Structure 1
Amino acid sequence: MASLFEPLVTALTALFGREPTLNEMILIPMLPVFISAFLLEWLYTYRKTGDAALSKGKPFWLSEVLANFSLGAGYYVSGALMNLLFVAALFTVVWEHRLFTIPMNLGTIVLAFFVQELCYYWYHRTAHRVRWFWSQHVSHHTGENMNMSTAARQSILNGIVGTWMFYLPAVLIGFSPELILGLLGANLAFQWFVHTEAVHKFHPWVEWWINTPSNHRVHHGRNLQYIDKNYGGVIMLYDHLFGTYEPEQEKVEYGTPRQIKSHNWFVMNLHEFVDMFRDAMAPGPLGERLKHFWKPPSWEREGHIPVHTWTVERHPEPVEK
């Protein structure tokens, strides 16, 4: 089995200048599968709607699709760079100081799956409720259409803001970094296929348990009842346990309550990060200014008008105090 993957390991080692993580060994070879699935989705939609699918505001609006893939390319490159600089070393250090050593077998792999899903759930929920992490995640949600290329809509800020920290507890407990990061890679690969309108709804039992396209469309909605719902990666178990599950009912309006109106790569990656720091630097009591980093994205400081360096379009959103 090892020899089967040896050419892939050799190629990725030459590309990165180091051995690839299991996460990278899952996601990078999946790229042709992702593109093929996207093209099939586009063909299916084209047969139903014709050229209108590519026009502004339609599911496959070309400007947005190109923006999605450009963000995805930046995400892959920045992720490899951050792994090279410090993230892989950090996981190694934590592994060396682990509390236990959990052997790898079928039972512990299943357990690790649920642990990784729990880590992902709390990363994802925090990324919506804490502005520091939202500054990285917001680019994924600024797409106003839904198709599989939306899954590529990721940020170059992942390593900088520290999304990796949510998975360190699993390694500290005793699950190997390779296993946890590999399961995370499988989680993210699965999610490519739930960013679509081509699939409607499955049996209610499936919808209850699994992160289906219907469940994930809700997650991308800026409708008031859909905001901050359905954080699960592969399963919806933790959304049910922690009260964040919402089924799809009314038509989903995609985007964010403070929608950035730009397809510029730098703006899409950095607009919230820049505005967060500008809000925190604006005059006022230091304690209140620092709250811009950990309060929810919609929180507004009394006496301060939120900074929007680039054009945004505001939609109704919950009031945060």
Structure 2
Amino acid sequence: MTLTDMLLAVLDRSGLRPAWDALAPWLALDERQLIFVIATPVFIAVALWEYLRIRHNPALMDTREAVRNFALGAGYQLTELLFAGIIAFPVYALCYHYRLLDLELTWFTGALTFLGVDFCFYWMHRASHRIRWFWAAHVVHHSSERMNFSTAMRQNATNIFNGNWVFYLPLALLGLNPVWIGIAYALSLVYQFFIHTTLVGRLPAWIEWLFNTPSHHRVHHGRNPGYIDRNYGGTLIVWDRLFGSFVDEAATEPPEYGITRPVPSNNLFVLWTHEYVDLFRDMARPGRLWSRLNHLWQPPEWERPAPDDSGNPHARTPVHTDQP
């Protein structure tokens, strides 16, 4: 039985198969997208359970924002659905065509795919905070001043055009099937949904050492100076421990969520595009072409020296949660 068969069996048992059969010819979903389709009702149910627990605390929950977060997530899934097949998939197919190894799917290669995707996610996520072009898409995920399950859905519809999927291409070149990569990536994102909460405290020490947990991810969303640019891991936290980006959540310093320069509007279009607008405005300022282009790959707080592009660059006040 293939993974698709197993996922369809889940739809059968849940009673959703007729709806799926009606939509499938129009959507042409792959296994990765099918995982998201099946997981979405679970996300909604868990988010509703959390909402009922914290709805009376405005510091933890805002109903209008929660609805907005799911709308942002829907926009993200829609653009992925419509454009991944014509933007990212052909590049993965080309890389896999010229793969270095012919690997069969076994328990070993399955585990290798999981580790490879998680490793690539770490560097993709780190780049999404330290390279302004990638931050322009990622910032929407951090712009909420609350941490709850709906925050996990707060994604940017421009992600597929932003190109952060290139970080996983080496896995296809190595010989890992792009389908396996997509499945591992989807399962990682499903896992990460459940670490966006304040209702779960610290877990047993061995879990906290190995896995990304709600405690570690609360740090990641904090704009406290000591928490900025920390805990990039996806499923595992060991990469942060290895590469020096790990910080533990301090009992005496609860995270303050959000970005250091709040977004001026809750309009969905503004939330998706405000950092792109700021980026291109900075690039449009007079100066040498190369120096202007630097804004694309420098950290978001980087500034060109004024007024004549001479001298060394200097930093401005960080503009977001994770001090990109």
- TM (norm. structure 2) is 0.88
2:266 to 256, 263, 267: 263
The answer on whether the counterparts of 2:129 and 2:322 sit within 8 Å (CA) in structure 1 is no
DSSP 3-state at the match of 1:248: coil
Map 1:70-81; keep pairs closer than 5 Å.
70-81=71-82
Name the residue aligned to 1:25. Answer: 34
1:295 CA drift (Å): 0.5
DSSP 3-state at the match of 2:262: strand
The answer on whether the counterparts of 1:280 and 1:290 sit within 8 Å (CA) in structure 2 is yes
Runs (4+) off by over 6 Å? 313-320
The answer on whether the counterparts of 2:227 and 2:322 sit within 8 Å (CA) in structure 1 is no
Q: Distance in 2 between matches of 1:264 and 1:59?
A: 21
Name the residue aligned to 1:308. Answer: none
Q: Distance in 2 between matches of 1:318 and 1:191?
A: 18
Name the residue aligned to 1:179. Answer: 180
Q: Distance in 2 between matches of 1:316 and 1:94?
A: 35
1:4 CA drift (Å): 4.7
Map 1:149-228; keep pairs closer than 5 Å.
149-228=150-229
Would you say 1:13 and 2:13 are equivalent positions?
no
DSSP 3-state at the match of 1:30: helix
Map 1:108-147; keep pairs closer than 5 Å.
108-147=109-148
Alignment RMSD:
2.1
138-147 vs 95-104, which moves further: 95-104
Name the residue aligned to 2:246. Answer: 245
Structure 2: gaps (5+ residues): 12-16, 308-316
Q: Distance in 2 between matches of 1:28 and 1:42?
A: 22
The answer on whether the counterparts of 1:259 and 1:314 sit within 8 Å (CA) in structure 2 is no
The answer on whether the counterparts of 2:257 and 2:321 sit within 8 Å (CA) in structure 1 is no
How many residues are aligned here?
302
Cα deviation digits, residues 129-178 of structure 1 (max 9, x gap): 00010001001000110100000000011111101101111011000001
- TM (norm. structure 1) is 0.88
The answer on whether the counterparts of 1:199 and 1:213 sit within 8 Å (CA) in structure 2 is yes
The answer on whether the counterparts of 1:298 and 1:317 sit within 8 Å (CA) in structure 2 is no
Would you say 1:59 and 2:57 are equivalent positions?
no
The answer on whether the counterparts of 2:223 and 2:256 sit within 8 Å (CA) in structure 1 is yes
DSSP 3-state at the match of 1:109: helix
Matched letter for residue 239 of structure 1: D
Q: Distance in 1 between matches of 2:102 and 2:146?
A: 45
Change (3 A) 1:92 1:64: same
